[in-house]
Structure formats: C-alpha cells, structure tokens
Amino acid sequence: MTVQVYWEDVAEGMKLPSLVKNVTTRQLVQYAGASGDFYEIHYDKDFAQETGLSGVIVHGALKSAFLGQLMTDWAGPLGALKRLSCQYRGMDYPNQPITAKGTVTRKYQEGEQYLVDCTIWLENPEGESTTPGTATVMLPSRIANAK
Amino acid sequence: MSTPASFLTDEMREQAIGTESQPVTIVVEKGAIVNFAQAIGDANPIFNDEILARKSQSGTLIGPPTFLRSIRAVQPEIPFEMPFERLLDAGSDWDYFEPVRVGDQITAVGRIIDISERSGRIGLMIFIKTLITYSNQFNEVAANQTNTLIRY
C-alpha cells in the first residue's frame, strides 16, 4: 500500500514518484474496447502506415490515463484530482517504456482546500517529453485535521 | 495530396462556434469501470475492488480520471463540408467536481468553443476545440473536458 501524502509534506520543486508503462499492442486493443475508440491507427499497422505513421501509435487518451494514474497514485486515498491537462505533442509507440513524471510547482490554500499544482509529462525511451501537461490535486492536511 | 493554403473563413468560424452535440446518457456500470481500469493498467482498489472501495472516501467504486471518455460523447457536427479525412487528438483538459460512481446516470453534451487553422508539416490543419460537460442524475457537473481535435 502507498503511504498517504499530506499537504504539509509537500514542497515546491519536489519530484513525484515516476510511473513506468510498457504498452503492448494487446493493451491497445483492450483500451479500444474499453473506451470505444476504434480508430484503426491504434491497431491496424497497414492503416496506420497509409496515414503516414511509422506504425500503430498509443491512443492519446490512454496516455492521459497514465498521467491521471500518476496523480491519483500520488494523491492517495484521501486526496482528489481536481484538474488534469495534457497535450499530445509527440507520438508514442507500443512495446517500449513510457514513463510518467511530475514535479510540484505550487502549493497553496483556497478556502478550505489544500492544493498542489504539478507539471507532468510522459517521456519516451530517448528521454524526450511527448506529452506535457499540468495537474492540480487536493491533499489532506494534518493541520486542518487537528483543528 | 495537396491541401489548400487556407480553408476557414470568419463566417465559418461564427457558424461553428456554439454548435452543440446531441446529448448522450449512460448509466455507469461496475463492469465498465473495472474493464476501463484494467485496460489502462491501473490497479488502484477504488477503481477495481468493490469491497475495498466501499471503505474508501467515495463509499463505492468510482471511475478513473479519464473514464468519462468511454461514454463516447458525440462530437458536435461541423455545420459545413470539411474536406479533411484524417484525425488526430491533440489533447484534453479536465476539471473534476464530483466523482463518477457506479450507478450514476451521466449525460454528456459537447459544444464547439473554438475552431482555427494552422499550416504545419502535415499540411493545413483544422483545430476544433470542444467543451464536453458531463452531468450526473443530481444535475451536478461531474467534470468538464476541453478537447482539441485536429482534422487534416
């Protein structure tokens, strides 16, 4: 089990624990079924190449799901994801590691909510960011709990 | 394939912006949430394990952050001919207000909020920005998704 992170434990500049995903073509088909996104560029190599791609590519939405997991894993059972934003700038391919990473950029309070903003991104095996984004989570506070 | 240097006119932009999609309503099933969590490879018990989820903050299984994509909200129809066959998803911004729980009835409506064009490596690209609002049976907005699609 993961240890619950509290707002007081967080500092700006802190790195989030990375999440490594290795997508198989089987998972692309599984995601197509679960999401209802059956666009052929994600499972039909000939089709993908006809549109000018080098092969099948990972669904953008699946990549955003990985960034969602990066955040919900970190926020833990008492935290909540408030905002998730990402842009699909580069293609990602199956059968190679995709790593979700994040850094805390801002820690602040809004009313009763204890919030943290992060810069998040996916990295391909070459270390390039293919999917930059931002996220905001609400975390539990020890101070607020003690009141 | 040759593409025109420019396609959109101000008139077309005005026509398109504000166009709404037909609403889509679904009831969130347990199996749909678990299938989705498995497909994205997320083993978090609140998305997978009904018994553990019952002891969680939400008191029941909830959908992972991007689960609402599986509702397949209908894209608003562009009110003019679009001579672009190919499609790319450019990204999404999500704002979350309420968890999506098993048994919720979710209605999704999309509205075009911007349309623009840009020339790039792959020729002329049309960027369509759509705001999809997902509301539950209590008329609460569970999430807003701003999605950008590229037609080229």
Phi, psi of B103 (to 5 degrees): 90, -15
| Collapsed DSSP state (helix, strand, coil) of residue A125 | coil
pLDDT of residue A2: 63
pLDDT higher than 60, residue A1:
no
Cβ–Cβ gap A83/B95 under 8 Å: yes
Phi, psi of A61 (to 5 degrees): -65, -30
pLDDT of residue B72: 86
Please give the angle made by the CA atoms of B83, B89 and B92, to the nearest 5 degrees.
135
Cβ–Cβ gap A83/B94 under 8 Å: yes
Q: What stretch of H or E contains A113?
A: strand A113-123
**How many percent of chain A have pLDDT more than 70?**
97
Going from N- to C-terminal start, the domains of chain A cover 7-146
Q: Does B6 touch chain A (CB under 8 A)?
A: no
ipTM: 0.95
Q: Does B122 touch chain A (CB under 8 A)?
A: yes
| pLDDT tens digits along A32-63 | 999 999 999 999 999 999 988 999 999 999 99
Q: How far apart are CA A147 and CA A76, in angstroms?
A: 22
| pLDDT tens digits along A61-74 | 999 999 999 999 99
The one-letter code for the residue type at A44 is: D
Torsion A13-B66-A74-B62 (CA) sign:
positive
Smallest CA–CA separation between B10 and chain A, in Å?
A: 26
Considering the domain B10-28+72-151 in this protein, what is its CATH number? 3.10.129.10
| Collapsed DSSP state (helix, strand, coil) of residue A77 | coil
Q: Does B29 touch chain A (CB under 8 A)?
A: no
Paired tokens of B98: 């309420």
For residue A36, the 8-state DSSP code is -
Q: How far apart are CA A131 and CA A70, in angstroms?
A: 13
Residue A12: closest CA among A121, A114, A119, A107: A107
pLDDT higher than 80, residue A99:
yes
Site from B35, B69, B118, B151 to mutate, A interface, most A CB atoms within 10 angstroms? B69
Query: Would you give per-residue pLDDT tens digits along chain B (152 residues)?
Result: 456 789 999 999 999 999 999 999 999 999 999 999 999 999 999 999 999 999 998 899 999 999 999 998 888 999 999 989 888 899 999 999 999 999 999 999 999 999 999 998 878 999 999 999 999 999 999 999 999 999 99
User: Helix H segments across chain B?
Assistant: 10-16, 30-40, 45-48, 50-54
Residue in chain B closest to A74 (alpha carbons) equals B44
Q: Does B36 touch chain A (CB under 8 A)?
A: yes
- B-chain CB neighbours of A120 within 8 Å are none
User: Alpha-carbon dihedral of residues B24, B27, B33, B39, nearest 10 degrees?
Assistant: -40
Q: How far apart are CA B22 and CA B24, in angstroms?
A: 6
> Within 10 A of A20 (CB to CB), how many other CB atoms are there?
11
Cβ–Cβ gap A37/B66 under 8 Å: no
Cβ–Cβ gap A34/B86 under 8 Å: no
Q: Does B52 touch chain A (CB under 8 A)?
A: no
Q: Are A125 and A73 in contact (CB under 8 A)?
A: no
Considering the domain A7-146 in this protein, what is its CATH number? 3.10.129.10
Residue B111: closest CA among B77, B78, B151, B76: B76
Q: Does B55 touch chain A (CB under 8 A)?
A: no
Residue B145: closest CA among B71, B44, B86: B71
Instruction: Give the pLDDT mean for A92-118.
Output: 97
In a 10 Å sphere around its CB, with 0-12 CB exposed, 13-18 middle and 19+ buried, how is residue A41 labelled? buried
Alpha carbon A101 to its chain centroid, in Å, reads: 8
